[in-house]
Amino acid sequence: MDKLPTPAGGLTRARQKLSNSPRLVTALKVAFTVVMLAVVMHSVDLPAAWRYASDQNDWFLLLAASFLIFQIVCGAFRWHLILRSLNAAMSRLESLRIYYISVFFGACMLASVGADVVRIWLSHRNNIQAGIATISVILDRVAALAGVAIIVLAVTPFFINVVGRDYDTAAMILAALALIGLSGIVLVAQLDRIPIGRWARFRLLDHLAALGGAVRQVFLRPETSVHVLTLGVASQVGGSLAAYAITRSLELDVSAIDCLILMQPVTLLATLPISIGGWGVREAAMVTFFGLVGVPSSAAVLVSVQIGLLSVVLSLPGGVLFLLRRKGMAENTGN
């Protein structure tokens, strides 16, 4: 598959989002983030949170940072494999650079300039067809969610043992949703095999067919899917171990398997595009799910805030890379 149709106006919309962020969407996200944080903080014993922080082991914070860096690297290489499977030529170093820049935009920018939009735009600047760049980012998101789904299916029995039989129905629902999601990948991969006949003139159907072919190339070919899904799982494990390292630094009675289990729904909720960088949503989810294993709300919020702050700090080199890249673009244009 050498070419994929460019989504109608996709590149134009990407450029517009980079230059003119929709203020209403941004304002709504900011408002929702502030409200969620206010609700969570209202239920938190701040003096207790301060006591946890004052006795914290900083070495475990450094370990958490290393796990978050590992998560970023896994994500970058996962996306690189997807690009390569779509016959898009980009070096590992360049994939890592662009991915890291997108992490910065996702973690630090208030405007609705999405990390995915930045990735598509910079990939196109690297001579990747806009259609391929767009589909590669979509499939990378699918791979990340597939990693969550695989972990959910694997840990469901442990989840029931950890939180008790009172939540076995919720656990089975999560497992069913994970199974449906993975099955959906197989179904989407058949879209380009559906005869559309006279409907072929509709561009949307053309795009769906292209997406189906791309999904099959990435997820139904063992030589690619094994590596992509392994990196998808590894990325989620890295985030879970980062949370575990922070709980250890606070001397909380939480195991690594607890974090692996409980961080999956937290991750899913935090990645919803309804808040700024997942703030507010992540804290509320941490309080809810870690409360199931007896973690006080003040400690759960502290863990969540430290994950968020570490993510922001670790993403800053991506901002430097972006500035250097813009400077290089400007110089090339000038020449």
Q: What is the pLDDT of residue 161?
A: 76
Site of tokens 């701040």: 46
pTM of the model: 0.84
In a domain, residue 2? The reply is no
Cβ distance 112 to 17 under 8 Å?
yes
Cβ distance 116 to 109 under 8 Å?
no
Q: Which helix (H) or strand (E) holds 34?
A: helix 23-42
In a domain, residue 169? The reply is yes
Q: How far is CA 260 from CA 256, 267, 275, 290, in A?
A: 6, 11, 24, 11
Q: What is the pLDDT of residue 237?
A: 95
In a domain, residue 4? The reply is no
Strand, coil or helix: 113: coil
Number of domains in the chain: 1
Q: What is the pLDDT of residue 92?
A: 92
- What is the mean pLDDT, run by run of 10 residues, along the chain of 335 residues? 47 51 72 84 79 85 96 96 91 94 84 75 90 92 92 84 72 85 86 62 67 87 93 95 94 90 88 82 91 89 92 93 78 59
CB atoms within 10 A of CB 19: 8
In a domain, residue 133? The reply is yes
Residue range(s) defining the domain that contains residue 94: 10-334
Cβ distance 97 to 79 under 8 Å?
no
- What would the 3-class secondary structure string for 127-156 be? CCCHHHHHHHHHHHHHHHHHHHHHHHHHHH
In a domain, residue 1? The reply is no
In a domain, residue 116? The reply is yes
Q: What is the pLDDT of residue 7?
A: 47
In a domain, residue 183? The reply is yes
Q: What is the pLDDT of residue 208?
A: 75
In a domain, residue 3? The reply is no
Tell the burial category of 138 from Cβ atoms under 10 Å away from its Cβ (0-12, 13-18, 19+): middle
How many whole angstroms separate alpha carbon 275 and alpha carbon 47?
27
The secondary structure of residue 293, as a DSSP letter, is G
Strand, coil or helix: 90: coil
Q: What is the pLDDT of residue 2?
A: 44
How many whole angstroms separate alpha carbon 16 and alpha carbon 307?
31
